[in-house]
Structure formats: structure tokens, C-alpha cells
Structure 1
């Protein structure tokens, strides 16, 4: 069913709000844990907004029951570190991360694309939000017990990361990055790093299983997590077929049939286009511009792998050398 996209309706269930309640897109516990409350995030149009101001309309039931329970589980797992986080039901991570991503898109419906010109429209239009209709459908798993058959609608990759102390000025224990076009999402929280491909019918997990296995028992530097994100994001850009789902609902649960594409799933990989995406994702590192990392016709710098393809173990502190 179509959900009303307005500040007077709950972003999750669509019910009209009888009193004004809000859901923090980045939950309060996360903001306090990583000192984000007064920090800012830059949106796609250049708007800079404090994390604490990123709130969306939410009814009491969704906020205090469904989402609250999810936040408790994720918060405890993050407090327990990587070893605890990887024990979580991956569906819970998916719902939590997808809620943040969808929440950011929803928030952009109410933010002017040009703050000097209120008539110029908002960052996100209701028509553009149609792209996330399927994502919103999947998010209803927060409210209703949901089974996915025969595969998950997403791919998730979880990695152990270096954890930094307050005096370690060169890297942070929190980082977040996403892609509007591919709905790919990455986050670092202390020694936990994960990348989620939200609507790929599990294809990336299946195709990339052997490739990513070599990183499972390693500790990654943040620059390496961003490189993996760049690979997954570009791979999703090359996806030929959109995912297809069929939902069957009963009074107490949903069953979502996920159809995986067959045959040629991705278009051909271009090292040059991948390098352009990687340079953008690495833009926080001033000496890693496109011309610094791409060597025609097909060589791209890597902090992840050695020339023979084996894992490149980086020291915890490398930023001064980049």
C-alpha cells in the first residue's frame, strides 16, 4: 500500500499522528556513545545539519515498541564489540541500518534544496521517494515477523576494525557513508565495521563470498573498509536487473519471496570508473585523488590487497603517511 509522505504521518506505519512524536534517525544512544550530538553531517545538496536535528515523524507504537526494542538489541551488541555484533540476527542489523538510510531520504522531503530560495523545492521530491517504495516495504519487518524465501533481500559484510582512543587524532571510531543511487550503506562503530547492500536479493553476498572470506579473520583500517565499500557500491551500479519480491501476508506474519536474477547479473567492470568512485570515497585523504590512484589502462591503487592479491595488513596509524 502507498504510505503518506508527510510530517503528519508516521514514517514507518503511515498512521496519522495524533500527537507530535519524533524518531531520531541516528538514535540517541549512538549519538551519545560517539559524541555525535553536536557534530554535523553534510547532505547531498551541501546542507550541513547537526545529527541531533535529524528527526522524522513517528507514532508512539512504532517509536516506543517496535523501534525501541530493535535499538536495545543493536545497542547491547555494539557495546559488546565485534564478537557480540556478529552474533546478531542479520535481519536485525538490516532493519536498523535500512531505517537510518530510509530516514535520511524521508528527512530530505522537508529540507529545502536551496536554503536561500524556499520556492526551489526540497532536496527529495515525493516522486523521487518512489524509488524507495520497496525499501519501505522491507522495513515493515520491524513491525511484523517476516520470513524471506529462499534468500535474503540484502547482502551484509561485517569486519573487525581497529579501535581508536581519544588521543588517536588521525582516525575516528565512528564513520558513516551511503549511496543514494545504489542504496549501499557502510558504518564503523569502534571495532565493528559493516557494509550493507540493501536491495540486491543477496547477489553480492553470493558472488563475493569467496573474495571477502580472506578478510574475515583480519583487522581492517578504516581506509580499507572504504575501499571494500567502493567495490561493493560500484558492483551494485553495474547490476542489470532490479530485485523482485512477492509478499504474502497473514494476520501474524509476512512471507517475502525473493527472486534472484539469473544469467548475466552485472555489466562489465571498468577499472577507470571504479577508480573514480574510489577517489570520491577516499576524498577525505587529500593525497588520494583520481590521478594519484589510477594508472592507465587498468591499474588502481589498493590499500586492501598486495599485488599478488593477498591481504595487505596495515598498521593502526597510517594516515600521516598518506
Structure 2
């Protein structure tokens, strides 16, 4: 390409007059969460907390500066996602993963943007410098580069640099469930008809780690408790991931191509601690009144709604008595 693309993490540029994606000067803004999504599920006036729980915003007030070009691109993407959404699981499963990455990435990056601003201003009040480690700069910078594929000629070659899984899901009508971890670049989304989980910068290794359970899921409509457990597995896998994903970015005239580097043969993941995992899972299952002590009982295997803890057979969703 003729010039280097904007990378806000290089010099930590998060300014209301610079487009969050292209870096162009602008006075326009767009919402972090799609307006149609907030209107359909009526959560615009609900609050979302920053990572340290000390600050919160109304979802509808979360906005990022954007150029007209960027807003137009995301508006067009929203139309595609909304049409797919109307067709439930079949519509979402038929989407190109790049579109799901871009749509999900908008929300995750928007929350990350607010985390960066919040931390910068918090440190400024203490007269301290706002800094990020080289590893985080690289990780977030790669994510931002890939998100620019919505406006720039960027292609993904071969294996995709993320783990995205879409599956049928049974919720009561009009219930909307989502979870995010902006710092670890993760997102889950569940409604009546389908759910998906996205790990946006893992080079697909977490999906590979969970391959066995994903194969068992095929052909089944998941119960929400199973969906929460699956996301907990992905989330905890990301937590113990000991492999820093690498990419090769090739400049081909006016195009960029991004290819996933071959992963090392060493183990990617640290020790799976059932005590820590059970605590995480209990946070997701608390709506059912299930505590960590219920999940991890003495002399018994951990509770699971995905697999029979003794036979490892997949649990038929229809046999789960919990509400949905």
C-alpha cells in the first residue's frame, strides 16, 4: 500500500478528533453497539462497567469518533448482519467469518477504546504517564489492523487469525445475552435461535483445543447453560494460553495480506486448574443459583452440562431441567 495504515497503539492516540479506525480528522461519531441491536433488545439505557468497576456508562452513550467512510462501512455491515439475524442460525452460520469478526470487532474495540481513555485520564490525574507493554501494543495493534479490513484492501490468507464458532441455541424469545472481555479480545452473543463465541486474536488455537466438544455439539440446539459453559471453556483457555500468536503481513501493491504463522510444536496452554475454572463458571451460572461449591464437590468430578462427567457423552439439551 502507498502509506502505512493508522495504528493508534503506536503512540497511544485516542482523541475525539481522530477517527478510531482510519485516524482521519473528524467531528462525527458512531455508537459502539449497533443502534438496531440496542433498539431491538432495549438495552441502550442499561449500564456497562469498565474493567475496574469504578466507572460505568449507558450503552447508548458509548460513542467513538469516526470518519464518514468508516460509518458508512459499518452501516452497510449492519444491514448484512441484521438480514442474517432474521434468518436465525442458518443466516448467521452462512456468513463469511470475516464479517462476524468485523461486526464483533467494532464492539470489542469500542469497549477497549473506552478502557484506554479511562486508564489514560485516571493516570493523568495522578500525574503519571499512560503506557502499555510492548506485548499489548503489538496484540492490540494487530487487532486494529485486521479490523481495518472493513475499509482497506486487506485479505486473510489460509487459516484465520481468530476462533469463531456459531451454533443453534434455545433462549426464550427476545432474551439477549452477551459477554465481552475487551482486554483479552473476546465476545459471546446469544439469542433465541443461535449463539456465537469469538476469540479475536488467538490464531484459532482455542477452537482447536475445544475441537472434541465442538464435534459433540454438532446437530444439537444448545441449552443456555451449555452455551455459558462453552464460553467459560473458551475464556479460561484464553487465560492459560501461553502462545503469543504471530502473523505475517505482506504488502502486495495496493493490498495487504495477513497470514497466520505456523504455531510452535510446544504446548500452548498452561495447567488447567479446576478450582479456578469452577469459580469462573459459577459466575456465568449464578443466574441458575449454581455456586462454585455445586460445581466442584469433594470426591466427585466437576459438574458439567456439556459432557457426562463419568462417560464423557454429550448431555442431551432436552434433559436439562434448568429454565431457558
Selected match of 2:49 from 25, 29, 42: 42
Selected match of 1:103 from 110, 122, 144: 110
Instruction: Check 1:244–1:297 CA distance in 2 against 1; reply closer, same or farther (3 A cut).
Output: farther
Match of residue 70 from structure 1: 77
Q: Matched residues in 2 for 1:175 and 1:256: separation?
A: 32
Match of residue 146 from structure 1: 154
1:276 aligned onto 2:284: no
Q: How does 1:21-40 map to 2 (within 5 A)?
A: 21-40=28-47
1:213 aligned onto 2:201: no
Match of residue 190 from structure 1: 192
Instruction: Check 1:38–1:315 CA distance in 2 against 1; reply closer, same or farther (3 A cut).
Output: farther
Instruction: Check 1:290–1:2 CA distance in 2 against 1; reply closer, same or farther (3 A cut).
Output: same
Match of residue 238 from structure 2: 236
Match of residue 225 from structure 2: 223
Match of residue 315 from structure 2: 312
Q: Give the deviation of 1:38 after TM superposition.
A: 2.2
Q: Matched residues in 1 for 2:35 and 2:63: separation?
A: 11
Higher relative contact order (CA 8 A, sep 6+): 2
Match of residue 169 from structure 1: none
SS at match of 1:214: helix
Q: Matched residues in 2 for 1:252 and 1:191: separation?
A: 40
Match of residue 142 from structure 2: 134
Deviations 1:42-92 (A, max 9, x none): 33232332211111111111101x212211111111111111110000111
1:15 aligned onto 2:20: no
Q: Matched residues in 2 for 1:250 and 1:16: separation?
A: 27
Deviations 1:122-170 (A, max 9, x none): 9xx563773512211111111123322331000111111114136xxxx
Instruction: Check 1:304–1:140 CA distance in 2 against 1; reply closer, same or farther (3 A cut).
Output: same
Maintained 8 Å contact 2:7/2:145: no
Match of residue 85 from structure 1: 92
Q: How does 1:136-175 map to 2 (within 5 A)?
A: 136-165=144-173, 173-175=175-177
Q: Matched residues in 1 for 2:38 and 2:292: separation?
A: 33
Q: Matched residues in 2 for 1:316 and 1:251: separation?
A: 56
Q: Give the deviation of 1:313 after TM superposition.
A: 2.7
**Runs of at least 5 residues in structure 2 that lack an aligned partner in the other structure:** 1-5
Instruction: Check 1:229–1:182 CA distance in 2 against 1; reply closer, same or farther (3 A cut).
Output: same
The alignment covers a number of residue pairs equal to 308
Q: Give the deviation of 1:293 after TM superposition.
A: 1.2
CA RMSD, Structure 1 to Structure 2 (Å): 2.8
Q: Give the deviation of 1:95 after TM superposition.
A: 1.2
Selected match of 1:299 from 285, 298, 301: 301
**TM-score when normalising by structure 2:** 0.85
Once the two structures are overlaid, the 10-residue window that deviates more, 87-96 or 196-205, is 196-205
Q: Give the deviation of 1:256 after TM superposition.
A: 0.6
Once the two structures are overlaid, the 10-residue window that deviates more, 99-108 or 130-139, is 130-139
1:262 aligned onto 2:264: yes
Instruction: Check 1:25–1:252 CA distance in 2 against 1; reply closer, same or farther (3 A cut).
Output: same
Q: Matched residues in 2 for 1:258 and 1:205: separation?
A: 15
Match of residue 56 from structure 1: 64
